[in-house]
Structure 1
């Protein structure tokens, strides 16, 4: 038989042709009068719903009307005709005070309701041929249902409650000898129709208004499983029926699905969670993505419409993103899969980001409320009370999670007071419209629910009002956080990043409030910095600066915004004129406002500008200015900062002993509170940097093992902070120091790779460039000179764009040495000369090593022994003046290997021997191993270049 669209329906033993106005039973026509036929068609078209007497009268008799006595007469005639053809079954129920309802299931198939003796049959929807990610849950619920008898599967619409319930029913069908019944309550329009509908399922004739006694008696005859699907819209009636049946029939097992629990005796609630999605990872492979059920379902459904399909590695991050965007909701993923066949992964993902489409159609065979996301959400929304709908709409202004306190503060007003708002929020939680956010005491709307509620809010005049309330709430919250104790800050505010982003977006848009945006930008600056969201922080601070007006000018608020903008610009774009100007302005504001903290930080960053260019004389002057300010205010943190700046300055200018003293004082006398405040507000840690530079200092001073320990301490401090820039600093120092200690070790490559990945992730271009240079040197040592050259110059370009010129000379000189090793002496000299290295500048840390490398290149290019000897001797003399034992060892080794006459060779070896014995530990470094071989005569130089690191 066809369905209603074909105008032929079947119920019980009857078939009704609406088009032909013909009721048949088998081959016999059932005689009906015109009015009775009209009534039957109206009731069948709205089966399981209550049709009022007035509606029946208006549709059958029209404007002329009729009294209710005539209506009862024709209803009675219709009942008799149906009873004559099917004695013992009740087709039309009278709902007192409301009207009539057709209560027998209507089907387009030839299967009829089973009679009591048909124990081998059951009425169940078809089980999905492939159910993804729910096997374990089906087993868990089956076990619960067997032992506890009454289980309700609770969860938001579209999450897969019906699918799981059907699977459980099929799983247990044999256990109940086929006595398994399934009823979709969404088709029923009144609680009073539930019991008759269930009775019909079990083959009972419905002849009275109270079928419960007969139903209980029938169910006691043998164990059975009853599945009540979609209880939420008749929750009170379903709960009453379930509780009575559970109490009266010990052999009955009940499985319900609902947006909310029934809250009755004996019920065991199983909250169905979303399908697990992959974490955010742009490098995720297809194989790893397919470990997650959400992606498995997506791929499975794409295959269903596309035939043969395999997820490619290039599409895996997009597939994972689509699943996360849809919160792992099974129905939403199925609907998206249909669009992937048309648009592909990239376009589908962008469509979801632009507008979460709730109207995409799904399987035609699905229940109407499951055919689109909008239908699912409409179904849930229509079941809410009006105040609950209003609260849900207002909650859509939140992004991501929110606390209960935040929700009440934003949505409560004169229309809905705080007490009522609180009640509504908890009711929405119990009805699965609000979910737990996975974090303690936080709630959230699923993205699909939020999109639906947001569109409903846009249809009202409250949208802008509640976005404003939302932005004001978080402006106050972040102002409190900005003044909060450092230890309590990160955990409290990091989780609100989604709400912060949403509030700023609204404030700076055309219909927003720029002043709220400026307030919120200033209040949140330290949060952005603390989370290492440097690129985004720069964008928001730039927007705030563009909207500053006369009221904000010269204020602490402007200073905070300018300093955050300057910090982010410096870390992401390098030491540019733009960032220098911002910091210079910040320093002026800080001096006028007598804000010592910002004065110190401004001096620190302006000093760092000069270090990187490099302009060491100016850097030393700024370090001394910081020292004078620190001594004036007698602050331990400020004194530690001044010593840190002095120590770094002295290190870069080759004053190693002074650098060591200042850095040790900085570390030993630092104030932890001041240090943490600097990290919190500006995302920079002087301790990490001081440890790393001190590591290089003690290596130069002849203690490689101690240098390694300091490197590990620096890395440990940076990792513990979980910040972008400190870890960049630590990894930069660790990778280059590892190259100096043992260039061929795997540790060198690993640290350089980690630096490049970490810096790229957070957009810290300068440190990414530094890491690329270290990678290039490693490749150059392995003879991969072409790849190394490309990588090196790409890295140097990033450093140049960031005005970071400190390491240009040593990087290019070392690369030139690698080229010479590979037999490209002429090209090596061209690179060295092209770098325009000033070998007469003795006031820099790498000066001795640059002289030594120049001497090695002189040998490679056959400039003569006297020429290379002069470079080596100059390197030794300068390194001894610096106090750099490491540079002295390298130059002495090169000289001992280069000399040809016995007298000069012996003198060079004696110098090397006296240098070698001064080292404290570290015999396993490349330099010391090579020196030992030269001293014991086991190494004779045929090619000096190839041996020396």
Structure 2
């Protein structure tokens, strides 16, 4: 006997055992294993193996690879003993013959000896997984597991196909668990059972992969891109109800790289490209009249006995009992779920009582739809029978828990029980009974576990609800339970964190969606739906599910309008209007509809005397005005917010108001005041003390303030410091992990600064990040803005007249959604691109549009650069007097704003015009004064250019002085 790790191999009897159980290995695979052992560590070539195993047959090399993979699966933790020598063959390492043992361990790994000094060590690759907790052993599926492992080695997509309750999920989990060491990037279990709509299948995939959950705009291509180059196994469980989405996901994931593998479970094949279908069959059952020894060899009976003995260690296994168990298993068609339920009950009632009732019960409950598969009818009969053996409390709890589409907590079960007039002790007993009978399973192994019903059990429970006429009542309780739960969570925000609340909501999002869908359906309760939506919809905003937030809020508002308005609490309306308006800004832009929505929130809040919602409305109005380019109105809203902040006892609102005013001051051109406000806010802000801990407003105020300070720092002349601040803000935003904040930092600060400074590589990287994030979470305004940034970036590379139409079209789309915060900067660059193409009339029209925008809105942050651009256009048209006037206006505007960078640019342009007019001395004086303000930033590109021009002027003046001086010396 040879022992390798936990395997005992008999070459004589061609047998392998692990923990006393036979391990199945095909004859050819065993022949290869025998050859490798006999070689005692030496290399065995591929040709030698093929001659030995297929002496009279020509086979492809991949046949050999399949059998090598099967051997490795059998070796388990010692699979690395078989070493592939690329292009040559294979060898088994660390083996030698030793006294007292046929095979001794001389290397790392887990080879045990029979000798007295045997040493055993185990090495495991560390890998991550989120596989569900299963405390029970898998019985009767050893061969199936090995076959699945062998199948997935060469194939990237393997689908386990079979009827409900046949054990597809359990088999997939066990196979995946054994493959954890083979996938260094992890094993991700994706439960699709809670997904009621294929639109949310990508959410389930993203969450299992540890990525952000996303709205309907999530891109599968982006998820697949994140998987490139990884060695990762993804288990897609319960695909049948979202079969097309699952197939699409499987193909995209498999295409991401050779290291990717997808293991799916479904009642039908995915029909994906290159898919390998593995049918999951029933466990083998005894034939009638078999003696007890033969009965014990069947996997169905082994499973029954394992589960029964786990519940009752003294469970009878005499000849009569074994015969009856065989009869039960045969009547249950070897379906694992049915067998486990039967075993759990047999442990309580005894096998004689169970068997006596089983025949009668099956006969009564047979006769499902004639068109249904026989196995489906049998499973229904099994569930009917098991259900009837429950006590009344277990039955009613099982039925009503069927409303939970995902896992649920014990508190949720207690809430349901309370509505059914059950005490907490009765609920505890009923739930314990259901768990012990495998009708309810633990979804995790934490100290505060969550529970769930298997998919087939839940479908059965729902059918029972319908049969009892309880579906509507149960759905109402289900929805109300989440109303109460998240209502309590909001009141507890003072002692809990917003992050914890969001994590809790994320776990329940499937249930919440189901409750809302029911409430607003034809058979639902709209009043409860409106209440639930008003509580939970703000969470969607904080999870960056902005489009879903908008649509859910609108549906609830419409339902409230159509119903009795008197039953619609004003505060619920305020919450829904606030969420709707906040989402509108990001999905449709700061349009008139958005401003009207915020104005309605403000009016309602003032009428109610609700300072909290009044402050949120002013915050929303300020942001919408700022995004719409209405700088003057934004400043008014910010200062009104600051005035309101005095009503609050803590300093949080005052500091937020300080930040808001600083932002608004920057856009109206008051750069020094803006810096003062922002620095004042940042110096006083303490994250642990100052938090606007309100659902629906998950913005880190310090990150936003620091980001805007970067823009102000640029305007004041410290361009290097500006990019450093922008980079720090971006890093903080990524750590904060809230896409809306990250997109703000990228779109409002980092990308514009990189473009303004000509940092093309940095702009390109940040722009790619902005596109990816905004597309993933459906922030359409940034998607539209990115098109303009793309054209700006492209225009920096030189003259490209053919791209002007695209630039114009992108600007038109930006105007359509009124997202005009960066319009002046974009129009200015568009005008310069037009000037390079000598389209001066259109260039002047673009500049005049921007200047008019500044006049109407009070925006001034880029006004000096617009004036300089108009001066350049005048100069190109040889209208030097007009050019000089515009350059002087640009210079004066920059000086008023203390915008030193823009002042240097304006001074340089005017100096060049004066040089052409032989006003060299005036040009030198002008440029010297402008550069003196930026003497501390010699590396700035504008300072370098201005310095080079000044040096050129100095040289000219010196040359003139030398020419005038030389004749006087000669005459003397």
Q: TM-score range by the shorter chain?
A: 0.5 to 0.7
Alignment partner, residue 795 of structure 2: 780
How far 1:876 moved relative to its partner? 0.7
The answer on 1:484 being equivalent to 2:500 is: no
How far 1:378 moved relative to its partner? 5.7
How far 1:879 moved relative to its partner? 0.9
Alignment partner, residue 266 of structure 2: 332
Q: Where do 1:644-723 residues align within 5 Å? A: 644-670=659-685, 672=687, 676-677=691-692, 680-723=695-738
Q: Aligned partners of 1:791, 1:939: CA distance in 2, in Å?
A: 43
Equivalent pair of 1:133/1:293 in contact (CA under 8 Å): no
Alignment partner, residue 514 of structure 1: 526
Distance 1:643 1:527, change over 3 A: same
Distance 1:154 1:892, change over 3 A: closer
Q: Where do 1:794-943 residues align within 5 Å? A: 795-821=810-836, 828-829=843-844, 831-832=846-847, 837=852, 844-859=860-875, 861-901=876-916, 903-919=918-934, 921-937=936-952
Distance 1:372 1:539, change over 3 A: farther
SS at match of 1:509: coil
Alignment partner, residue 547 of structure 1: 559
Alignment partner, residue 399 of structure 1: 405
* Count of aligned positions: 699
Q: Which protein, 1 or 2, shows the higher relative CO under an 8 Å CA cutoff with sep ≥ 6?
A: 2
- What is the root-mean-square deviation of aligned Cα atoms in Å? 5.1
SS at match of 1:936: helix
Equivalent pair of 1:401/1:443 in contact (CA under 8 Å): yes
Q: How far does the alpha carbon of each residue in 1:662-686 deviate from its partner, in whole angstroms, 9 at most, with x for none? A: 2233333446478532663334444
One of 267, 282, 286 as aligned partner of 2:220: 282
Q: Which moved more, 1:615-624 or 1:528-537?
A: 615-624
Q: Where do 1:427-438 residues align within 5 Å? A: 427=436, 434-436=442-444
Q: How far does the alpha carbon of each residue in 1:543-592 deviate from its partner, in whole angstroms, 9 at most, with x for none? A: 22123333344622222222122212223222233322222222222223
Distance 1:376 1:292, change over 3 A: farther
Equivalent pair of 1:289/1:316 in contact (CA under 8 Å): no
How far 1:837 moved relative to its partner? 4.3
Alignment partner, residue 475 of structure 2: 467
Distance 1:843 1:824, change over 3 A: closer
Equivalent pair of 2:638/2:660 in contact (CA under 8 Å): yes
Q: Which moved more, 1:876-885 or 1:380-389?
A: 380-389
SS at match of 1:844: coil
TM-score in terms of structure 1 length: 0.63
Equivalent pair of 1:290/1:296 in contact (CA under 8 Å): no
Q: Aligned partners of 1:757, 1:169: CA distance in 2, in Å?
A: 40
How far 1:852 moved relative to its partner? 0.8
Q: Aligned partners of 2:474, 2:580: CA distance in 1, in Å?
A: 29
How far 1:422 moved relative to its partner? 2.7
SS at match of 2:565: coil
Structure 2: 5+ residue runs without aligned partners? 1-11, 17-21, 30-62, 80-108, 115-130, 151-164, 181-186, 191-201, 207-218, 240-246, 285-332, 336-372, 957-972
Rg (Cα) greater in structure: 1
Alignment partner, residue 247 of structure 1: none
One of 385, 409, 418 as aligned partner of 2:427: 418
Distance 1:381 1:922, change over 3 A: farther
Q: Aligned partners of 1:568, 1:723: CA distance in 2, in Å?
A: 14
Q: Aligned partners of 2:899, 2:670: CA distance in 1, in Å?
A: 9
Alignment partner, residue 592 of structure 2: 577
Q: Where do 1:3-42 residues align within 5 Å? A: none
Q: How far does the alpha carbon of each residue in 1:242-266 deviate from its partner, in whole angstroms, 9 at most, with x for none? A: xxxxxxxxxxxxxxx99999xxxxx
Structure 1: 5+ residue runs without aligned partners? 1-117, 173-229, 233-256, 262-268, 300-310, 346-359, 942-949
Q: Where do 1:729-808 residues align within 5 Å? A: 729-740=744-755, 742-783=757-798, 785=800, 788-789=803-804, 792-793=807-808, 795-808=810-823
SS at match of 2:220: coil
Q: Aligned partners of 2:784, 2:735: CA distance in 1, in Å?
A: 24
How far 1:717 moved relative to its partner? 3.6
SS at match of 2:408: strand
Q: Which moved more, 1:713-722 or 1:130-139?
A: 130-139
Equivalent pair of 1:132/1:296 in contact (CA under 8 Å): no
How far 1:887 moved relative to its partner? 0.7
Distance 1:419 1:838, change over 3 A: closer
Distance 1:272 1:171, change over 3 A: closer
Q: Which moved more, 1:688-697 or 1:827-836?
A: 827-836
Equivalent pair of 2:435/2:441 in contact (CA under 8 Å): no
Alignment partner, residue 602 of structure 1: 617
Q: Aligned partners of 1:698, 1:410: CA distance in 2, in Å?
A: 58
One of 741, 746, 751 as aligned partner of 1:726: 741
SS at match of 1:398: coil
Q: Where do 1:77-476 residues align within 5 Å? A: 138-140=74-76, 164-166=142-144, 279-280=205-206, 282-283=220-221, 284-285=223-224, 288=228, 291-294=231-234, 315-316=251-252, 330-332=264-266, 335-337=268-270, 339-340=271-272, 362=279, 374=376, 381=383, 384=386, 386-387=389-390, 393-410=399-416, 413=420, 417-427=426-436, 434-436=442-444, 441-445=449-453, 450=458, 454=462, 457-476=465-484
Q: Aligned partners of 1:131, 1:400: CA distance in 2, in Å?
A: 40
Q: How far does the alpha carbon of each residue in 1:885-913 deviate from its partner, in whole angstroms, 9 at most, with x for none? A: 11101112223334434852343233223
Distance 1:502 1:145, change over 3 A: farther
Alignment partner, residue 86 of structure 2: none
SS at match of 1:714: helix
Q: How far does the alpha carbon of each residue in 1:429-488 deviate from its partner, in whole angstroms, 9 at most, with x for none? A: 6x8955438997334446566556545655553333332222121111110122222524
Distance 1:439 1:448, change over 3 A: farther
Equivalent pair of 2:254/2:262 in contact (CA under 8 Å): no
Q: How far does the alpha carbon of each residue in 1:35-64 deviate from its partner, in whole angstroms, 9 at most, with x for none? A: xxxxxxxxxxxxxxxxxxxxxxxxxxxxxx
Alignment partner, residue 592 of structure 1: 607
TM-score in terms of structure 2 length: 0.61
How far 1:405 moved relative to its partner? 3.3
Q: Aligned partners of 2:141, 2:450: CA distance in 1, in Å?
A: 29
Q: Aligned partners of 2:415, 2:677: CA distance in 1, in Å?
A: 52
